[in-house]
Chains A and B, each alone.
Chain A
């Protein structure tokens, strides 16, 4: 029993799980182990990992950010509206793409700021703030576009957005920066402290409000980066982009091992969580399992991960 406990508690449990899962299913599922299938998995894994990173930061601070899906949708249509070929504000303008990217990041940051201020200064429960945020900003995206997609994006954007190599480098870069920020920077240590005990942090001179607002803004920014990738993949700005992604985002972070009680979590853990979730998603898809059976399996796995998380936090040291 002790070895099992040590294994379950070890940091790399989810990584072992993914590798074991892949090995178990590879012989049965056609085309799972082929190069371009793994390429597909990677293409869909990168944006999810970026959003999950943002979610990890917010969870470590002891909160939760449900509004990321609506941030992705809002950024997607903002960018598309700017650089759209026929009636975009900067249609055809050489600076259209950089301006659109900047606008998308700005929107992500602003929504993150709004969430952060509501949670800290207005002392509202993070769960409800981001829940109403999700409804409001996705409603805003649908209202601005009257639920019509915005297509015909400049070729330059489609090349950048949809290109997996660029996406991979951006993701690795962001991953390293986030890891360093969390473990080695002032802000990161403060974030862990606030997640563990906000009162002690306040009394120890940690700018609690500033740190938490920073976490929500980071989550918003990362969601905007993911929006660039998703929009690139579909080559159109859609107001309902990523509507079904909430389960994957929260699921990957929780499966990875980030605790819902705050104070515990790592970027690497979230990477393993996203890896496992996407691997499972892809393999079940290749096994012709319908979309909703996959939804059920994901629900069950998240429940199991949450029970593990409670058991780990509550288990005697």
Chain B
């Protein structure tokens, strides 16, 4: 049980997702030349931008060892309301604003039940998932709403040579990274995720931290909804389904731990989202049967979570207090 060997094991476990990413790239690049082209990568990032933004919100929640299943439904409600407004020829900007407000309000509802009434996060967000999806289906009477071209500009337009979604993703990523690493709130999120009791003792208002992360997750889900809506051009009844799985997958692949306290928005979660999209994109280029995608993505998430729990149990084993500090340990501890 010598320490050098363990240090190597920890190194591998910590950046497993980086290794996976490199592996996937080499496999697909070897298979088909167009894979490594610039446009292909820009295309992958555009396609994964909405999932990445939602995954950023999900990372905040996972950092506090919580979970938010309602992101898919929040996207759908936001898109449905925006669709109704825009087809009722309201101008675009107020519609976008309404979307963001809806995201925050629904995030707030989750926060209220989870922090004030202390209900399990998983049940609350499962219930809001169905409440949200039911409300949006009622609003759109399960009919697809096609959006006027004005709205599509968000998805297809380019600014300074880069498609708009990449700029929006960069903006959200930048702000999230700044908040998590550079603000007191961000560092307190990590503290609360690591050990709630110690955080409370250290004087952190843990209730507010828990509430805030769900509001942020709701907001990011709304932004993700806008982007996805702009790219699709229409709100169909299946809008946003399973987005919560891909968001969790992206975060976990990016190294965010489900036990809380660990995880980075940049490069972690965003790379996780891009990784999933790259795999899907690569599979299409190899024209593998598309029904194979869910099998592969769920298998990858399972492996990522397995690595995460292995890391957690290894860490726990090492941090046990040593009784005999003297002679027989010095040799190991160097």
* A contact set with B: CB distance below 8 Å: 64, 118, 122-125, 127-129, 131-133, 135-136, 138-140, 142-143, 146-147, 247, 250, 254, 260-261, 290-296, 298-300, 302-303, 306-307, 309-310, 314
> Other CB < 8 Å A-B pairs besides A299-B127, A299-B130, A302-B123, 6 of them?
A64-B122, A135-B298, A139-B294, A290-B138, A292-B134, A296-B131
- Which chain A residues lie closer than 8 Å to B293 at the CB level? 139
Most chain B CB neighbours (cut-off 10 Å) among A146, A261, A307: A307
Residue B179 lies at the interface, judged by CB distance under 8 Å to chain A: no
Q: Which of A128, A131, A138, A306 contacts B124 (CB 8 A)?
A: A306
> How far apart sit A182 and B40, CA to CA, in the bound complex (Å)?
57
| B245/A131 in contact, CB under 8 A | yes
What would 7 A/B residue contacts be, using CB atoms closer than 8 Å? Answer: A118-B306, A123-B313, A125-B258, A143-B292, A143-B295, A250-B123, A290-B137
> How far apart sit A29 and B133, CA to CA, in the bound complex (Å)?
26
- Which chain A residues lie closer than 8 Å to B118 at the CB level? 310, 314
| A124/B126 in contact, CB under 8 A | no
Measured CB to CB, the closest approach of chain A to B3, in angstroms, equals: 23
- Which chain A residues lie closer than 8 Å to B55 at the CB level? none
Known A127-B67, A135-B294; contact A299-B128, beta-carbon cutoff 8 A: yes
Residue B181 lies at the interface, judged by CB distance under 8 Å to chain A: no
A-B contact count (CB 8 A): 126
- Which chain B residues lie closer than 8 Å to A310 at the CB level? 117-120
At the interface, is chain A mostly helix, strand, loop or mixed?
helix
| B294/A303 in contact, CB under 8 A | no
| B127/A124 in contact, CB under 8 A | no
Residue B289 lies at the interface, judged by CB distance under 8 Å to chain A: yes
Q: Which of A128, A261, A309 contacts B305 (CB 8 A)?
A: A128
Measured CB to CB, the closest approach of chain B to A77, in angstroms, equals: 13
Residue B211 lies at the interface, judged by CB distance under 8 Å to chain A: no
Interface string of B111-143 (1 = CB under 8 A from A): 001000111101110111111011101100110
> How far apart sit A220 and B27, CA to CA, in the bound complex (Å)?
36
> How far apart sit A166 and B23, CA to CA, in the bound complex (Å)?
54
> How far apart sit A143 and B298, CA to CA, in the bound complex (Å)?
14
Residue B159 lies at the interface, judged by CB distance under 8 Å to chain A: no
